[in-house]
Amino acid sequence: MNFRKTLLTLFACLLNFSFLQAHQSDIVASTTEDQKPATIKVLLHKDSTGALLEARGSFEVINPETGKRVSSGRNGKRFYLYPHKEGIKWGEDFLGIFQLQIIPTSPDTTLLVNGVQYSGVLEIYHVEEKLNIINEVTVENYLKSILPQKFHGDYPESVMDAVAIIARTDAYYSALFNHDAFWHVDAKEVCYEGVGLTCQNPAIDRSIESTRHLVMTFEDQPFPSTWTENCGGKTAPYQTIFRKNTPTPQGVDSVFALAERKDTHWAFTMNTQDLAKVAKINRITGIDLFVDHFSSKVYAVRIHDGVHTEDIDFLTLQKHIGEAKLKSNDFSVSLKGNIASFEGYGVGSGTGLCLYSASQMAERGDDTPHMLAEFFPYTHIEKMRAYPEAIVSANKGSFVSPKHKKATQKKHRILH
């Protein structure tokens, strides 16, 4: 108990310090990876035939293979970018070059792809006569773009601060786990729309700034994490519901959500033929549920047609049926004739922070550290401005090698 209180006190100090530093800008130029703020690479366009690329302000173009500058400009540039057999063309021809980095050389420079504004660096890869376009952006700016799209509702500041830390932790995990990949996340999947849509929700921006660089670690490393609107009384481990082969905190009981469980009841019916289309089979003779034993949350279903079976994970099932109907993964299903009857409780994936419970905790006077400790047991809070060179866990061994491997080529800066 004393150890837990120490962690909470440490976190509170970090949170207050972060708030005081909220409006100090990042270092815009760095020459070593250790100084580089944490970034994440977002896939903007895959297998594209081309895009209108504009640099508003000074920039340079680098060949990542050699680290050499192949072009630059002081007053911006606007041309259609496209691949051809001998390289890439963007106003000028980059012959024999099949990958480019477009790097702002001024804090005032912005980059636009098909009219959408981005901060940070653009990476272009020529792959089989198509282009993959990637944006490397600081995690802080990334959060300001995605959170307004994912997080809705009016919640106490302490709850919103918790959500910001959870989202940052998840982003750090994605970047570190996929450190060798060309990109870490897909813009469409994470609702990333560049910097043009930031500042939509001042309350969210405040939470991101006031918790700047704060992440949770479990077994010495950031971990995949999320939140749920109402857990219905219990949460499930992220790794169970999302089928991730990585350690995450265990599920917990929530007395607040349990007390209101009956009020979150929902039910609906659907024709089995419509459900069969989801499984891509002709008929349905039975449905089995795969559940987390602690929470009874469903992570997948097995649909029978009398001869074959088809397994569908919960998120895919919910996407096809619709979140308005299949509100959570805390449900049961029965078949009668050609009708499938669903009945359940709660709202959301049932993992991570329960927003309803956290709001009740805030009304009781609990702060952000207590909320995170309640729903993410055995985690630590760290201020992690840059990615560590490596993370080694005594419980799991080496989790990641350095996100950015040591190299002799010039290290470029992330601006904004």
Query: 106 lies in a domain?
Result: yes
Please indicate, yes or no, if residue 123 is contained in any of the structural domains: yes
Number of Cβ atoms within 10 Å of the Cβ of 249: 22
Instruction: Give the residue-averaged pLDDT of 285-298.
Output: 97
Q: How far apart are CA 219 and CA 239, in angstroms?
A: 14
Could you tell me the residue range of the domain that residue 287 belongs to?
Answer: 224-355
In a domain, 389, yes or no: no
pLDDT > 90 in the chain, percent: 78
The CA distance from 225 to 168, in Å, is: 9
Confirm whether 239 is domain-assigned: yes
Res. 145: pLDDT tops 80: yes
- Residue 400: pLDDT band by 50, 70, 90 thresholds? low
Average pLDDT for residues 165-178, to the nearest whole number? Answer: 96
235 in the same domain as 122: no
> pLDDT by residue (tens digit) across 35-82?
689 999 999 999 999 999 999 999 999 999 999 999 999 999 999 999
CA dist 195 → 115, 160, 354 (Å): 12, 20, 29
Tell me the three state secondary structure of residue 175.
helix
**How high is the pLDDT of residue 404?**
39
Among 146-155, 180-189, 273-282, 394-403, the range scoring the smallest mean pLDDT is 394-403
Neighbour count for residue 379 (Cβ, 10 Å): 21
**Signed CA dihedral, 293, 296, 299, 305: sign only:** positive
For the cut 60, the answer to whether the pLDDT of residue 92 exceeds it is yes
Domain total for the chain?
A: 2
Bridge-based pairing of strands 92-95 and 87-90 is antiparallel
Instruction: Kindly report which listed range (68-77, 181-190, 194-203, 287-296) carries the lowest average pLDDT score.
Output: 194-203
pLDDT at 388: 84
User: DSSP per residue over 118-155, as a string?
Assistant: E-SEEEEEEETTEEEEEEEEEHHHHHHHHHHHH--S--
Same domain, 350 and 228: yes
Given 106, 138, 170, which residue is the final one in a domain?
138
Q: Is 280 a domain residue?
A: yes
CA 146 – CA 139 distance, rounded (Å): 10
Higher pLDDT, 30 or 44: 44
Whether 184 has a pLDDT exceeding 90, the answer reads: yes
Residue 318 in any domain: the answer is yes
Q: What's residue 414's pLDDT?
A: 42
At 9, is the pLDDT very low, low, confident or very high (cuts 50, 70, 90)? Answer: very low
pLDDT digit string, tens, across residues 362-378: 999 999 999 999 999 99
Q: What DSSP designation does 263 have? A: G
> pLDDT at residue 148 above 80?
yes
Q: What is the mean pLDDT of the chain?
A: 88
Using pLDDT thresholds of 50, 70 and 90, give the confidence band for residue 392: low
With respect to residue 396, please indicate whether it lies within any of the assigned structural domains: no
**Residue 399 pLDDT > 70, yes or no?**
no
**In which band, very low, low, confident or very high, does the pLDDT at 340 lie, cut at 50, 70 and 90?**
very high
Predicted local confidence at residue 126, as pLDDT: 97
Q: Answer whether residue 303 is part of any domain.
A: yes
**Are residues 233 and 336 both part of a single domain?**
yes
The pLDDT score that the predictor gives to residue 180 is: 87
Q: Which range (4-18, 69-83, 101-115, 321-335) has the least confidence?
A: 4-18
Give the model's confidence band at 395: pLDDT under 50 very low, under 70 low, under 90 confident, else very high.
low
Domain boundary among 81, 114, 138: 138
pLDDT exceeds 60 at position 216? yes
The reply to whether 229 and 347 lie within a common domain is: yes
Radius of gyration of the chain (CA): 24
Of 78, 110, 138, at which residue does a domain stop? 138
State both tokens at 410: 């010039």
Confidence of residue 401 (pLDDT cuts 50, 70, 90): very low
Task: Retrieve residue 314's tokens.
Answer: 């919960």
Paired tokens of 307: 């001869």
